[in-house]
Amino acid sequence: MKDPLLSVIIPACNVERFVAAAAQSALEQTMPDLEVIVVDDGSTDGTAAAAAAMQDPRLRIVRQENRGLAGARNAGIRAARGVYLGFLDGDDLWVPRKAEVQISVMHRSPFVAMTYCHSAYVDERGRPTGEYLVSRIARPTLRQMIRRNHAGNGSTPILRAAAVRAVGPFDERLRTNGEDYEMWCRVLRRHGRGSLVRVPEPLTLYRIRSGSLSMSFDNFLQSGELANRILRQAMPEIPNWVFREGLASFYRVASRKAASAGRSGEATSYLRRAVTLAPWLPLSDPRVAATLCLILTSGRAQGILHSVARLALFKRSAAR
């Protein structure tokens, strides 16, 4: 049987309510030459059954004991047969044109190892919130990527399979977060400036789940600190201030998440830590001011401000 052009890898752990929609969004791509690999990472709910109920010969299911996001993605890579690898979290969605648009960029330039895109936020029922997660950098340098994960989230990238295998697997010490950021930095270092390219369209739908807003941020920050240490050890040629800003960005993101969840005390503490690590951050990242505004507001005013800030950043990025 002919190998597919694209393998879409879906790490899935306890996402019974969402995994079928995620897989369906991959199967409904306008570029149909693909396979979808759902990796059931030790789920204790009906995730595997929900995926198995789908009737499409392009869909395969890999089951394993829980190994975390990195371990699930690595299992998918081992099973993949595609020339390209796309990653889609089990509760997110792809818009139908995503694979076609991003792969066309890599078809045109053999030097591009990875493309990524903007994300539109949707709620638990898949309805648009009007907010966006955007990247302002079209072709990040390695230093820029260390300072901030410009791919946004783990459901935006599509990469050449050869580029992934050239740098080795996801680091399985990073079980819950940061494993994608650490991998993209390695890909960029190996393949050079210009090898990561932004597609300035919201081709990924990032699902906001109510349970995630009440999460503990300890794991998020511990994973960010570990990813930062791993990169420091692997890349001694990079100045220390770059890593400090990279770690500060994790704290800034944690601050924004805490503020969105109404936890202003934690949000303030995280933002203070971010600025302590990188005092220049308010000048280099406009999201610091936006996060501070979120902390200072509440209720409906917070939601309106959040939406306006996201829309402004999206329009600014799309205009570039």
pLDDT of residue 319: 46
Res. 214 pLDDT band, cuts 50 70 90: very low
pLDDT of residue 308: 47
Token pair belonging to 37: 């690999």
Residue 66's CB is within 10 A of a number of other CB atoms, namely: 14
Q: How far is CA 269 from CA 77, 177, 241, 277, 279, in A?
A: 38, 20, 21, 12, 15
Q: Is 204 helix (H, G, I), strand (E, B) or coil?
A: strand
Looking at per-residue pLDDT, the higher value among 220 and 74 belongs to 74
71 contact partners, CB below 8 Å, separation of at least 6: 41, 64, 170, 172, 175
Per-residue pLDDT averaged across 57-62, rounded? Answer: 97
Q: Is 90 helix (H, G, I), strand (E, B) or coil?
A: coil
pLDDT of residue 74: 98
Q: What's 4's DSSP letter?
A: P
pLDDT of residue 2: 86
pLDDT of residue 216: 66
Distance of CA 260 to the CA centre of its chain: 19
pLDDT of residue 297: 84
User: What pTM, to 2 d.p., does this model score?
Assistant: 0.90
pLDDT of residue 306: 54
Per-residue pLDDT averaged across 255-270, rounded? Answer: 89
Cα–Cα distance, 301 to 299 (Å, whole number) = 5
The amino acid at 23 = A
pLDDT at 119 over 70: yes
Per-residue pLDDT averaged across 87-112, rounded? Answer: 97
pLDDT at 142 over 50: yes
Residue 110's CB is within 10 A of a number of other CB atoms, namely: 8
pLDDT at 318 over 70: no
pLDDT at 215 over 80: no
Of the ranges 124-133, 193-202, 269-278, 281-290, which one carries the lowest mean pLDDT score?
281-290
Token pair belonging to 65: 């004991």
Res. 27 pLDDT band, cuts 50 70 90: very high
Res. 94 pLDDT band, cuts 50 70 90: very high
**Residue whose structure tokens are 């198995």:** 52
Of the ranges 25-34, 199-208, 253-262, which one carries the lowest mean pLDDT score?
253-262
29 contact partners, CB below 8 Å, separation of at least 6: 6, 94, 96, 97, 98, 99, 100
Cα–Cα distance, 182 to 224 (Å, whole number) = 9
Per-residue pLDDT averaged across 286-312, rounded? Answer: 67
The domain defined by 6-199 carries CATH number 3.90.550.10: yes
Cα–Cα distance, 7 to 82 (Å, whole number) = 5
N- to C-terminal Cα separation, the chain: 43
Res. 284 pLDDT band, cuts 50 70 90: confident
List, in sequence order, every beta strand (DSSP E) within the chain. 6-12, 34-41, 59-64, 84-87, 93-94, 114-122, 128-133, 158-160, 196-207
Where in the chain are all domains bearing CATH 3.90.550.10? 6-199
